[in-house]
Amino acid sequence: MLLALLIWVFTIAIVLSFKYGSWWFPEAINAHARAYDEHFMLTLIITGVIFFLAQMILGWVIVKYRDNGGRAVYSEGNNKLEVFWTSAAAVLFIGGVLLSTRIWAGVHLAETPANAVKIDVLGKQFAFSFRYPGADGKFGKTDIKQINDANGNPFGLDEKDPDAADDVTASSIRVPVGRPVELNLRSRDVIHNFFVRELRIKQDLVPGMQIPLRFQADKIGEYEIPCSELCGLGHHQMRSVMIVLSQADYDKWLKDEDNALKGIQ
């Protein structure tokens, strides 16, 4: 009887903690993130109601079929009920997937608009690097033999390629607010993961692959990028930040970086 009581009390406490708890995701900063949150909420409510009912019934079963001194009876189960809840679960799962496919595809499969800002992202143990094409708008050639972290060349920009000379490399990512961005993700060693909670996007960086990822950030600010794939002993310190700037501030930053590069050459 105590077990039934515990199940009821815990179930009610869990449901109340979702209703009144102050913990939740950080703010959503674009349309994708809000669509993601809506779908998450829908899933949470459906599964929450089922969870609540199932636990309440479980407690009731414990009370109803408690030991009353009589003989135990073997039950074959109920085929109609089995068919009902198995198909109900299938409908819910498949329906949830169908509803959310568009949200997922918007990030992973959509066409990139022509005015998108293109940025290369490189993961390595244990840091992120970002590359911008610079004033000429063209990413220069890279050469793995020229990779040199000590000289600030994690991408291995080819010294002989003029297109590479003005490529800007940075350890944090800056993007203009309200503009589509296309990232090109790659890794130099093991699998890492690019995760920005406020954008509700998360994508692995896989060695040997170039993976596109599209988003738009609609709020100026600074957002953490924690590597979210256990990538080695230094994984815990692998993090960067995404800085969302106004278009004017972004242009100024890129120009300053360009001038700094020209000053060195």
Closest CB 111 distance from Cu ion, rounded Å: 29
d(CA 60, CA 33): 40
| Interface positions, 20-59, toward Cu ion (CB under 5 A) | none
CB of 229 to Cu ion, least distance (A): 6
Kindly identify the residues of this chain, within the stretch 69-98, that bind Cu ion according to CB under 5 A: none
As a whole number of angstroms, the distance between CA 161 and CA 159 comes to: 6
Q: Tell me whether residue 189 or residue 256 sits nearer to Cu ion (CB atom).
A: 189
Residue type, 242: M
Q: Which residue has 């890279």 as its token pair?
A: 142
User: How does strand 211-216 pair with strand 180-187?
Assistant: antiparallel
Q: Look-up: residue for tokens 């779908």?
A: 39
**How many residues are given for the chain?**
265
Shortest distance, CB of residue 238 to Cu ion, whole angstroms? Answer: 4
Q: Which of 33, 168, 217, 238 binds Cu ion (CB under 5 A)?
A: 238
What percent helix, strand, coil does the chain show, rounded to 5? 45, 25, 35
Among 15-23, 52-60, 101-109, 188-196, the segment contacting Cu ion (CB under 5 A): 188-196
CB of 122 or CB of 238, closer to Cu ion: 238
> Which of the residues 195 through 234 are near Cu ion (CB under 5 A)?
227, 231
Residue among 227 and 254 whose Cβ is closer to Cu ion: 227
Using the rule CB under 5 A, is 122 a contact of Cu ion? no
Pick the binder of Cu ion from 32, 131, 192, 197 (CB under 5 A). 192
State the nearest-atom distance from the C-beta of 231 to Cu ion, in Å.
3
Count the residues of the shown chain that bind Cu ion, applying the rule CB under 5 A: 4
CB-CB contact of 99 with 39 (8 Å) = yes
Q: Binding string to Cu ion for residues 139 to 178, with x set by CB under 5 A, is what?
A: ----------------------------------------
- Name which of 55 and 228 has its Cβ closer to Cu ion: 228
E-strand spans in the chain? 117-124, 127-132, 168-170, 173-176, 180-187, 192-196, 201-205, 211-216, 221-226, 239-245
Tell me the C-alpha distance between 1 and 157, whole Å. Answer: 70
Q: Can you give the binding site for Cu ion, defined by CB under 5 A?
A: 192, 227, 231, 238
